[in-house]
Amino acid sequence: MQKLLDEIIDKYKGTTAYGAVANYIPELEKTDPNQLGISVFDTEGNLFQSGDANVRFTMQSISKPVVLLLALIDNGEERVFEKVGKEPTGDPFNSIVRLETFNEHKPLNPMINAGAISVSALIKGNTPEEKVNRILDFIKKITHNDSIRINEAVYRSEDLTGHRNRSMAYFLKDFGNIEGDVDETLEVYFKQCSIEVTTKDLAYIGALLARDGKDIITNERLFPARYSHIVKSYMATCGMYDGSGEFAINVGIPAKSGVGGGIMCTVLNRMGIGVFGPALNRKGNSYAGLKVLETLSKNLHLNIY
Amino acid sequence: MQKLLDEIIDKYKGTTAYGAVANYIPELEKTDPNQLGISVFDTEGNLFQSGDANVRFTMQSISKPVVLLLALIDNGEERVFEKVGKEPTGDPFNSIVRLETFNEHKPLNPMINAGAISVSALIKGNTPEEKVNRILDFIKKITHNDSIRINEAVYRSEDLTGHRNRSMAYFLKDFGNIEGDVDETLEVYFKQCSIEVTTKDLAYIGALLARDGKDIITNERLFPARYSHIVKSYMATCGMYDGSGEFAINVGIPAKSGVGGGIMCTVLNRMGIGVFGPALNRKGNSYAGLKVLETLSKNLHLNIY
Amino acid sequence: MQKLLDEIIDKYKGTTAYGAVANYIPELEKTDPNQLGISVFDTEGNLFQSGDANVRFTMQSISKPVVLLLALIDNGEERVFEKVGKEPTGDPFNSIVRLETFNEHKPLNPMINAGAISVSALIKGNTPEEKVNRILDFIKKITHNDSIRINEAVYRSEDLTGHRNRSMAYFLKDFGNIEGDVDETLEVYFKQCSIEVTTKDLAYIGALLARDGKDIITNERLFPARYSHIVKSYMATCGMYDGSGEFAINVGIPAKSGVGGGIMCTVLNRMGIGVFGPALNRKGNSYAGLKVLETLSKNLHLNIY
Amino acid sequence: MQKLLDEIIDKYKGTTAYGAVANYIPELEKTDPNQLGISVFDTEGNLFQSGDANVRFTMQSISKPVVLLLALIDNGEERVFEKVGKEPTGDPFNSIVRLETFNEHKPLNPMINAGAISVSALIKGNTPEEKVNRILDFIKKITHNDSIRINEAVYRSEDLTGHRNRSMAYFLKDFGNIEGDVDETLEVYFKQCSIEVTTKDLAYIGALLARDGKDIITNERLFPARYSHIVKSYMATCGMYDGSGEFAINVGIPAKSGVGGGIMCTVLNRMGIGVFGPALNRKGNSYAGLKVLETLSKNLHLNIY
C-alpha cells in the first residue's frame, strides 16, 4: 500500500499545474498550489501516508457531512429533515423545469450551501461560541486529534466576502427555516468551514464512516449506523458538486470535497481516505486529487457500483 | 433465500393498498394494483422467485439504463455525452437557482425523460422499426428471453397522451440536440417504454450489471465494464426519481424504477433483483416494492455505502 | 405631415445597415434589408405615406393583437382569460425568481408566443381552414383591403422550423390549455404569422384602435371599446418584446412589432401608424423603424405618458 | 369635480371590507382598514379632496418612482441603467423560461424590490443619514410640504422583518451591483419606504409628472422631461405589481401603488391623483382604491390607450 501511494503521488504531483487555487476567498489564494498528499486509514487501524499529508488546510464543504452527523446526533433524523430535503436532485418524473435549490420551502439537501446553513443552525448551543466549540469537540473526538482549530484569517475572509451565503441565509430566515439570528448562524457556518485539518484527520473520519460509527481505536459506537448511512448517501450522490456524476463513474465511492483542496472518502468495511491538493478544477474539486483517487480506486478495486 | 423472499412478499403484500397505479397513461390504469412479486438472480446463476414473478408489465423508465447501455455500445462514451449531461443534479457550488433539466443545451442526465429521449435518438438504425428491433434484440439477449415484446396497447396509449414528452422532444430538436425526425424518435422512445418484462427479466439484467457485463450463463463479455459503471452510477444517484436520496439511505443499492411498477436492482458481485408492485407512491415508485427492498437490504446486508 | 415623413425616412434610410433580417425562419432571410417605409392614417381619414409603403411583408407577431381582438369577439373576455393571463410581467411583490412564461397553468399574456398560440386555438371554426379564413376575413374587413393573403413560402418555412413553438404547444396541450389538436392549432398560428400586409394595412388597423373600434370610413362600430382597451394595453406594456420598456420611454405609444420588420402603432383619437424596416436589432424590433418612430413621436408630441 | 369625488368615495367606502391591511410588516397591521380618501390636483393648480385625504400613511413602494427620479438627477440616465434594467418584463421573443428578477447581473427594472434597492444605493450622500435627508428634502420640495417625515415605528418594523429584502441586497452585493455597505443601503431603502405622506402629497407629485417636471405653483423646471418620461413609463407598465395589466385595461393611466394603501397617478397635461385605502387585494393594491380610480377614469375619460 505504501509503495502504491508513493507511486501515485509521484505520478500526479505534476498535474497540480492544471488546476488553480480557489480565489473567491482571498485567504485561500495564498495557498501553495503544488501541494499533493494522501492518507489512508484502514479499518484494521493501519495508517499509510504519502506526500503533503501533514499540511493543514481548511475543511470548507467537507465540514458539511461532519456537521450533519452532529446535527443528527443533536436533533434526531425527523427534526433535521423538517429543515432540509433528502434528495440529491429532486427530479420529479414529469417536470420540465424547476427551482434547484429550494423546494417546499426547504433547501434540497444538506450538501448544498443553503442546506448546510440550515443544518448548522440546528447544532446545540446557546451562543455561536457554544455551537462552534461543540463542532470542534466532535471533530477532535472523531479524529483523535486535540490540536484541531479554526484558521481565524480564513474565517474573517469568509465572513467579509460571504455575500452569497448571507443572501441565502436571509432567504431561509424569510420563510422560517432558520429560527435563530442569521448573523449568529453564519458565524457558526463560516467557522465550521474554516476548521483546519490534515489528510490524516479526513482519513480517520472516513474510516469511522467505513465502520458505520464504530471507532477503530476504541471500538466505541459514536453514533447509530443509520446516521452513517444518511451521511454516506449524500456523499455518494452529491458530494463532489457538479462533478458528482463523473466521480461516481470514475471512482465510485462516497466522497466529499472542499474548495480548500481536501477530499474525504470512505469505503465500507475497508478504509477512510483523505486527499489534499489545493489546485482545483473548474467544478471546485482538487484536480490532482481526482487523478489520485481514480488510480487508487482502479488499483484497489474500490468502486462499489 | 427462498424462505426469506416468501416471508417478505407475504409481509408486504397488504401494503399495496397504500399506493395507486399510474393513471396518466390510460392503459396502465387497468393494472391490478394488488400484485407484488420478486426475482433474485445471483451471480452464481441461482434464481429465486416469489409472488407475482411471472406477470408481464411494461418497463417504462427501466428502459432508460438499458437503452443507455445500447447507445454506449452503438456510439461510444464520447458521442453519447455530447448529447446528454453526466450529472445527477448539476449543483454548481455557487448557484442559487438554475434550470434543472437543461444545461449547456443538453439534458442534465440520461435518467430524466429529456435525456432518455436524446439517448433513444442515438440507437443505430435507419428507421424507427430498425431501432426498436435493435433494442428488443438487445433485451432478448441480456435476459435470455426470446419472448420479449412490446405491449401495443400501452404504446398507443403513451403515444396519444405523451404531450409532455413531445414538448420536450421538440425543445431538444430546437437547439439541435436531436438530429433526426422528432416523431420517429418519439416512436422509439414510447416503444422502449412499452416493452414487457417480468421480474425475472429484470433480475437477469441486474445480475449482468453485477458482473459488469459478463453474462452469467455463457460467461461472455457483452459490453465493457466501463459502460456498466456508467449505467450503475446513474441508477445509484438518480434512478428512483425524487425518491433517489431516500432510497440510497434506506436500501443503498443501484436501482431503477418505472411507473409500470417495476424496479431493477444490481448488487456488485452478488445479485440482480427484479421487483414488481404496480401500486405507486406519490413519487412514482412502487409502494410495496420499496418496503420489500428495504427489508431485503437489511437482511442480506446489501447496502453498499 | 408628408414633408415630415419624407424627411424622417430619408434621414434613417441609412441606419437599416445597423440591423439584420431575421434568419431563424429561412424564408425571411431573403428579404432586402435596406427597405424602410411608413404609412400614417389619421382619424379624420387622411393617409400619408413615404418610402417602401407598398411592399408586402408578413405580420409575424403583429398578428397577435389582431387575432386577440377576433378571439375576444368570438369568445368574450371571460373565456379568453381562462386560457391566457392578463399580466405583462407577473411580478408579485415578494418573489425572487419564478417562471416567466407559464403561471397557474396558463401563459402569462397573449403577446408571448405561448399565449398567442392559446388565443389562436380559440378562434371559431371547425377546421384550421375555417379558422384561418375567419382571421383573413377579419383582417380584410379592418384594413379595407380584399387582397390580403398568406405568404405560403413563409408559412411552410415557419412550419418546418417552428420546433420551439411546437414544443410550447405540446406543453400547453399537456396541461389542458389547448383543447383541440396541436398540429391544427399550429397550422392556424403559423398561417396567421404568414399573412402579408403593407404599412398602409397596419396604419388602418392602428387608426381603428385609435377610434376604439369605430371604422373611420364607414363609422361602423366593429367591436366594443373595451376590447380595444385590452389590446392596446398589451401593446403598450409588452408589445415590443424585450424592448418594450425602452420603447415606452423613447416613443411612448401602444405598438406591436413583428420579426418580419413591421411595427403597428396607435395613438388615441389621433392616428394609426404602420412602419416597415426588415433589418432588426438584437431584440427583434426593426432597427430603423424604432428611429423613425422616436423622431415622429418627438415631432408630433405623440408620447402619451 | 368635487361632487364626483364625494359620490365615488361614498359609493366605494363600503368595499374596503373586501380587502385586508398588509400584515407582513407588523406596524402596518395596526392601520384602520376602513379608510378611503382621494386628492386630485389639476395642472391649473386646483385641488379637490374627499374622504380620508388628510390621513398620513407610509409610501412603501410609491417611494420607488420618486427615488428613481432623484437617482436620475444625482447620477444621470446612463449611470442608473448600468445598475438596473429598463424592461418591465424582459420577455425575449424566443424564451421558454428564464429568471424574472435578475438579468445580466442586474435587477430587471427599478419597480421591483431588488431594482429599487439598487437605485437607493445610488442616491448622493456619504452616510445613510445624508442620503435619507436628501430624499426627504426632495419629497418636501416636490410636495410643497415641509412636514414630511419618517414613521420610525414602521421603519423599525421593516428593518426587523425585511429578511427577503436583505437576502436580495446581499445577492446584489455578491455580483457587485451594490458598491457600498449592504446594511447602510437597506437603512436608506427601509426609511424611504417609511416616509409618511397624505393623498394630497401624492396628487402634487402626480401633477408635477403630468407637467413633465415643471412645478405647478412656481413654474420652475425641477428635472428634465426625459426623467419624467422614464418614471411614468415604469408606472404605466409595471407600477401595480401583478395587477399592472388589469389596471392598464380598466384605468389606463401611469400609477404606482404601495402596500401602505396609497396609489399615486398622473395624467399628462391634466392632473395628479392620490388615493388612500389601506385594505389591499391579494396582489397588494388598495381594493377600494382600484374601484375609485376605475370609476374616475371612466367619468373623466382619463384612459390614455
> Which has the higher per-residue pLDDT, B23 or A10?
A10
Vertex C256: Cα angle to C255 and C262 (nearest 5) = 110
Q: Is residue A55 part of a domain?
A: yes
Catalytic hit among A12, A50, A64, A132: A64
Catalytic hit among B61, B118, B157, B228: B61
Q: Is residue A119 part of a domain?
A: yes
Tell me which of A72, A81, A87 to substitute to probe the interface with B (most B C-beta atoms closer than 10 Å).
A87
Q: Is residue D24 part of a domain?
A: yes
- pLDDT for A135 beyond 90: yes
In angstroms, the CA D283 to CA D165 distance is 18
Contacts of A168 in chain D (CB under 8 A): 167
Rounded to a whole number of angstroms, the distance from the CA of D238 to the nearest CA of chain B is 24
Total structural domains in chain D? 1
pLDDT at residue A79 in the model: 96
Q: Which residue of D has its CA nearest to C110?
A: D245
Signed CA dihedral, D137, D138, D141, D144: sign only: negative
Tell if the CB–CB gap between D171 and B96 is shorter than 8 Å.
yes
pTM for this structure?
0.92
Tell if the CB–CB gap between B99 and D97 is shorter than 8 Å.
yes
Q: Which residue of C has its CA nearest to A96?
A: C171
Q: Which residue of C has its CA nearest to D231?
A: C249
Q: Is residue C56 part of a domain?
A: yes
In angstroms, the CA A38 to CA A289 distance is 9
Vertex B177: Cα angle to B176 and B183 (nearest 5) = 90
pLDDT at residue B91 in the model: 43
- pLDDT for A277 beyond 60: yes
Q: What's the Rg (C-alpha) of chain D?
A: 18
Tell if the CB–CB gap between A99 and C96 is shorter than 8 Å.
no
| Cβ–Cβ pairs < 8 A, chains B and D | 4
Residue-range definition of the domain harbouring residue B27: 2-91+102-300
Q: What percent of chain B has pLDDT over 90?
A: 82
Tell me which of A101, A174, A186 to substitute to probe the interface with D (most D C-beta atoms closer than 10 Å).
A174
Tell me which residues of chain B have a C-beta less than 8 Å from any C-beta of chain D. 96-97, 99, 171
Query: Range with the lowest mean pLDDT among A129-138, A264-273, D19-28?
Result: D19-28
Q: Which chains touch D (3 or more CB pairs under 8 A)?
A: A, B, C
Q: What's the Rg (C-alpha) of chain B?
A: 18
- pLDDT for A206 beyond 90: yes
Question: Which residue of C96, C163, C170 is in closest CB contact with B174?
Answer: C163
pLDDT at residue D95 in the model: 42
Question: Which residue of B97, B170, B174 is in closest CB contact with C170?
Answer: B170
Give the pLDDT mean for A230-257.
Answer: 95
Tell if the CB–CB gap between D87 and C234 is shorter than 8 Å.
no
In angstroms, the CA B65 to CA B231 distance is 6
Q: Which residue of D has its CA nearest to C247?
A: D233
Q: What percent of chain C has pLDDT over 70?
A: 95
Tell if the CB–CB gap between D87 and C303 is shorter than 8 Å.
no
Give the pLDDT mean for C241-248.
Answer: 91
Give the pLDDT mean for B286-301.
Answer: 98
Contacts of A268 in chain B (CB under 8 A): 303-305
| Cβ–Cβ pairs < 8 A, chains C and D | 175
Vertex C237: Cα angle to C235 and C243 (nearest 5) = 90
pLDDT at residue B92 in the model: 42
Active-site annotation holds for B259: yes
User: What DSSP character marks residue C20?
Assistant: B
Tell if the CB–CB gap between D245 and C233 is shorter than 8 Å.
yes
Q: Which residue of C has its CA nearest to A101?
A: C97
Active-site annotation holds for B287: no
- pLDDT for D101 beyond 50: no
The residues of C that are catalytic are 61, 64, 189, 241, 259
Give the pLDDT mean for C87-111.
Answer: 59
Question: Which residue of D92, D100, D235 is in closest CB contact with C91?
Answer: D100
User: What DSSP character marks residue B61?
Assistant: G
| Cβ–Cβ pairs < 8 A, chains A and C | 4
Give the pLDDT mean for C139-152.
Answer: 98
pLDDT at residue C88 in the model: 80
Q: For chain D, how far is it from start to end, CA to CA, in angstroms?
A: 23
Residue by residue, DSSP assigns C132-176 as HHHHHHHHHHHHT-TT-EE-HHHHHHHHHH-HHHHHHHHHHHHTT
Rounded to a whole number of angstroms, the distance from the CA of A171 to the nearest CA of chain C is 9
Give the pLDDT mean for B294-302.
Answer: 97
* Confidence label for D108 from pLDDT (cuts 50, 70 and 90): confident
Residue B145 dihedral angles phi and psi, to the nearest 5° = -135, 105
pLDDT at residue D104 in the model: 59
Average pLDDT, chain B: 93
- pLDDT for C90 beyond 60: no
Residue by residue, DSSP assigns C101-131 as SEETTEES-TTSHHHHHHHHTTSS-SSHHHH
Question: What angle separates helix A128-143 from helix A63-83, to the nearest 10 degrees?
Answer: 120
Under the phi-then-psi rule, with left for phi > 0, alpha for psi from -120 to 50, and beta for the rest, what region is C45? left
Give the pLDDT mean for C210-225.
Answer: 97
Rounded to a whole number of angstroms, the distance from the CA of D303 to the nearest CA of chain C is 9
- Per-residue buried b or exposed e for C77-107, using 16+ beta carbons within 10 Å of the residue's own CB: eeebbebbbbbbbbbbbeebebbbbbbeebb
Contacts of C174 in chain B (CB under 8 A): 163-164, 167
Q: What is the pLDDT of residues D247-262, one digit of tens each?
A: 999 999 999 999 999 9
Distances, alpha carbon C245 to alpha carbons B162, B220, C239, D67, D252, in Å: 38, 67, 10, 19, 16
Average pLDDT, chain D: 92
Q: Is residue A305 part of a domain?
A: no
Question: Which residue of B87, B232, B249 is in closest CB contact with A305?
Answer: B232
User: What DSSP character marks residue C190?
Assistant: H
* Confidence label for C97 from pLDDT (cuts 50, 70 and 90): very low
Q: Is residue C53 part of a domain?
A: yes
Q: Is residue C95 part of a domain?
A: no
* Confidence label for B5 from pLDDT (cuts 50, 70 and 90): very high
Question: Which residue of D85, D100, D236 is in closest CB contact with C97?
Answer: D100
B136, three cell numbers: 428488443
Residue B114: give its domain's CATH number: 3.40.710.10
- pLDDT for B96 beyond 50: no
Residue B197 dihedral angles phi and psi, to the nearest 5° = -135, 170
* Confidence label for A264 from pLDDT (cuts 50, 70 and 90): very high
pLDDT at residue C108 in the model: 82
The strand ranges marked E within chain C are 37-42, 47-51, 57-58, 102-103, 106-107, 149-150, 195-197, 255-257, 262-267, 271-276
Tell me which of C93, C94, C98, C99 to substitute to probe the interface with A (most A C-beta atoms closer than 10 Å).
C99
Give the pLDDT mean for D116-122.
Answer: 96
Tell me which of B170, B177, B179 to substitute to probe the interface with C (most C C-beta atoms closer than 10 Å).
B170
Query: Range with the lowest mean pLDDT among A263-277, B22-36, B72-86, C125-139?
Result: B22-36
Q: Is residue C305 part of a domain?
A: no
Contacts of D229 in chain C (CB under 8 A): 249, 252, 303, 305
- pLDDT for A95 beyond 60: no
Question: What ipTM was estimated for this complex?
Answer: 0.92
Distances, alpha carbon B252 to alpha carbons B38, B136, B300, in Å: 18, 30, 12
pLDDT at residue A96 in the model: 41
Contacts of D171 in chain B (CB under 8 A): 96
Give the pLDDT mean for C129-134.
Answer: 98
> Which has the higher per-residue pLDDT, A215 or D175?
A215
Give the pLDDT mean for C177-181.
Answer: 93
Tell if the CB–CB gap between C170 and B182 is shorter than 8 Å.
no
Q: What is the pLDDT of residues B156-206, one digit of tens each?
A: 999 999 998 998 899 899 889 999 999 999 999 999 999 999 999 999 999
Rounded to a whole number of angstroms, the distance from the CA of C171 to the nearest CA of chain B is 5
In angstroms, the CA C205 to CA B304 distance is 70
Q: What is the pLDDT of residues C279-297, one digit of tens each?
A: 999 999 999 999 999 999 9
